[in-house]
A and B are shown apart, each in its own frame.
Chain A
Amino acid sequence: MTEIAAHDAPQGTVGIFSRRHRLRWTEALPWVIALASYFAFPNYLALGSQILATILYGLSLDLVLGYAGIVTLGHAAFFGTGAYAAGLLAAHGYGEPFLGLVVAAISAGIVGCLTGAIILRTSGLTLLMQTLMVAAMLHEAANKANSITGGADGLQGMEVKPVFGLFRFDLYGKTAYLYCLGVLFIGWIIVRRIVYSPFGRSLTGIRENEARMHAIGTPVFRRRLTAYSISAALAGVSGALIAQTTQFVAVDAYGFERSGNILIMLLLGGIGRLYGAFIGVPLYMIAQDQFAEIDPVYWYFWIGLLLVLVVLFARGGALGTLERLKARWSKR
């Protein structure tokens, strides 16, 4: 991840556009910190791998919410599908982790494509409700299909094979952490490429002004559906990661909290900024780990208050605030 030397950077408008998607040195920071944490906090690797997998989930949500502008309260539909896909595979003897990820991505992607084809024709509250209903239906189905999913008791008996046939998932979570980190890195490359591609630009265009994108001939519905399906597949991978590393799938993988909390984490970090999840998810999950154990009641009160304050006074979350501070500072 090298900084571009000033002299070979293209000039003018073309320069602005082509520089925009070059890697900046700050983009290496999350990975440096993640690797450093591996050595610095050996006792927290289990939490760490959860955080890494959830960041991927946040990234997938950012793609639909932050870039395509689809407000969804049902992203858990895809997280859960991925988790159950990987879980069921591993419980029936197909515990190869990468196979699990691929199947999870495909099945969640299919669910995303099918439901997206139905619901993405609407907008506003109707769309919000439909995303909610899709997740709620899957939640009910998983809850009631006792014989397949284990129902409310959760899916047990998963046996995940070693990564590359070499690295067993150990008790300390070392393998799990690095495995999640690697998958997140690939996911990040994919999302980053999408966001800066012409396709990604057209998504932003649809978010900002749908009518105009129609007018210039963008196939709006198809673009949104594609983004929705890709995002669903990534969310599925994230669900699979958590299922494989915890060797367990609970029915709340489809729950409303799964859909809601990730929204909150993304908001805290900054929506539509690619790195919102990298900030919001660790902040939220570490704080939850530290405070929620003491008293979950207070935890919800403070998170609620923080939400209200961020929406009213700190638009764009941590990254948005940082951007504003930077803008103010450079103006002086």
Chain B
Amino acid sequence: MTEILLPAISILFHGLAFAMVLYLISVGLSVTMGLMGFVNLAHGVFAMFGGYAATTLMNRYGVPFPLALLGAVIIVGAASVVFERVLYRRLYGGAELDQVLMTIGLVFMSVALAKYFWGPLAQLFQPPAVLSGQIDLGFREFPTYRSFLIVCGGVLVTALWLGIERTRFGAQIRAAVDNLPMAESVGINTSQLFTLSFALGSGLAALGGGLGAEILPIYPGYATDYLVDFLIVVSVGGLGSIRGPFFAALLLGITDTAFKYLLPELGSFFIYALTLALLMWRPRGLVGSA
């Protein structure tokens, strides 16, 4: 019994931690894609620079971990406002292909910039002493940092959920996702809404990049190599949804971990096939509306 149970728990645990990181990074992409109908392949760039900002603040300037994360979120969030206003805005409602190509351009530039400023190697990531080592949960030990990730993810998911369901801002986002012209005509300032949600989504991605640097190491290829994962979460989850990507992230995180553990030679192939099958079954994603 324990021979099956222990690996299963281990897979579930690590899969959950991975899923939380995936969710944090991707949820903003889902909202902005659902809201503005913008195919943004450069979302991973914000997560990557979030990770770079956090690790640099910690390693080079000795900023404590929580403050470094906060700093990363603020820096990336603010920068994303500029990007939204100057670049993205011009292509709202435009051809999908233009959006794809412009964001690929941004990805290329970010890869080059990251390599120029930080070199080709992955950034050193050391969580504070409190969060390193193992934690004893009674029946067995777990890595503390990953437990922290799961708790952190859980808290943030709840907060986001409440924020979207209960606050005025959340209601405005839901309204705009459902019916943009109607939302505009009842007096919602959608232009401002776009900018704010874009900044929020990028900030969350930066947080995910910083928090998740232990699972998804920060290196110049980050924005291209994990892009497929983020896109899977968003497309399988459903555009414009907060819940959908959560389920999709759980599915991807746990399946991916299970395959890496049990059948490493088949891992990615199965994930891609599964994504293809899920998208055939539900082309708008699990909880898709748009």
Cα distance A134–B88 when bound, in Å?
28
Cα distance A133–B231 when bound, in Å?
11
Number of interface residues of B (CB under 8 A): 43
Q: Is B96 an interface residue (CB 8 A)?
A: yes
Please tell me if the beta carbons of B239 and A125 are within 8 angstroms of each other in the complex: yes
Given A125-B39, A300-B111, CB of A65 within 8 Å of CB of B97: yes
Closest B residue to A66 by beta carbon equals: B97
Which chain A residues lie closer than 8 Å to B109 at the CB level?
A: 300-301, 304-305, 308
Q: Is A15 an interface residue (CB 8 A)?
A: no
Q: Is B139 an interface residue (CB 8 A)?
A: no
Chain A contacts with B in 100-131, Cβ cutoff 8 A: 118-119, 121-122, 124-126, 128-130
Please tell me if the beta carbons of B284 and A137 are within 8 angstroms of each other in the complex: no
Tell me the smallest distance from the CB of A311 to a CB of chain B, in Å: 4
Q: Mark B238-268, 1 if CB is under 8 A from A, else 0.
A: 0100000000000000000000000001101
Tell me the smallest distance from the CB of B177 to a CB of chain A, in Å: 14
Chain A contacts with B in 270-310, Cβ cutoff 8 A: 271, 297-301, 303-308, 310
Q: Is B273 an interface residue (CB 8 A)?
A: yes
Closest A residue to B114 by beta carbon equals: A297
A contacts with B: majority SS: helix
Which chain A residues lie closer than 8 Å to B105 at the CB level?
A: 303-308, 311
Please tell me if the beta carbons of B231 and A132 are within 8 angstroms of each other in the complex: yes
Cα distance A297–B105 when bound, in Å?
14
Closest A residue to B288 by beta carbon equals: A126
Which chain A residues lie closer than 8 Å to B115 at the CB level?
A: 297
Tell me the smallest distance from the CB of A25 to a CB of chain B, in Å: 31
Please tell me if the beta carbons of B100 and A130 are within 8 angstroms of each other in the complex: no
Given A129-B275, A140-B272, A304-B106, CB of A311 within 8 Å of CB of B101: yes
Q: Is A240 an interface residue (CB 8 A)?
A: no
Which chain B residues lie closer than 8 Å to A73 at the CB level?
A: 100
Tell me the smallest distance from the CB of A146 to a CB of chain B, in Å: 10
Q: Mark A32-65, 1 if CB is under 8 A from B, else 0.
A: 0000000000000000000000000000000001
Please tell me if the beta carbons of B272 and A133 are within 8 angstroms of each other in the complex: yes
Size band of the interface chain A makes with B: 35 or more
B contacts with A: majority SS: helix
Please tell me if the beta carbons of A122 and B283 are within 8 angstroms of each other in the complex: yes
Cα distance A4–B110 when bound, in Å?
50
Q: Which of A118, A128, A260 contacts B39 (CB 8 A)?
A: A128
Q: Which of B100, B234, B285 has the most CB atoms of chain A within a 10 A radius of its CB?
A: B100
Given A125-B33, A300-B108, A304-B108, CB of A311 within 8 Å of CB of B91: yes
Please tell me if the beta carbons of A124 and B96 are within 8 angstroms of each other in the complex: yes
Q: Which of B39, B104, B113 has the most CB atoms of chain A within a 10 A radius of its CB?
A: B104
Q: 20 A–B contact pairs at CB < 8 A?
A: A71-B96, A71-B97, A122-B279, A125-B39, A132-B231, A133-B272, A137-B276, A144-B266, A144-B269, A263-B101, A263-B104, A267-B101, A300-B111, A301-B109, A301-B112, A307-B104, A307-B105, A308-B106, A311-B105, A312-B102
Residues of chain A touching chain B, judged by Cβ–Cβ distance below 8 Å, are 65, 71, 73, 118-119, 121-122, 124-126, 128-130, 132-134, 136-137, 140-141, 144, 256, 260, 263-264, 267, 271, 297-301, 303-308, 310-312, 315
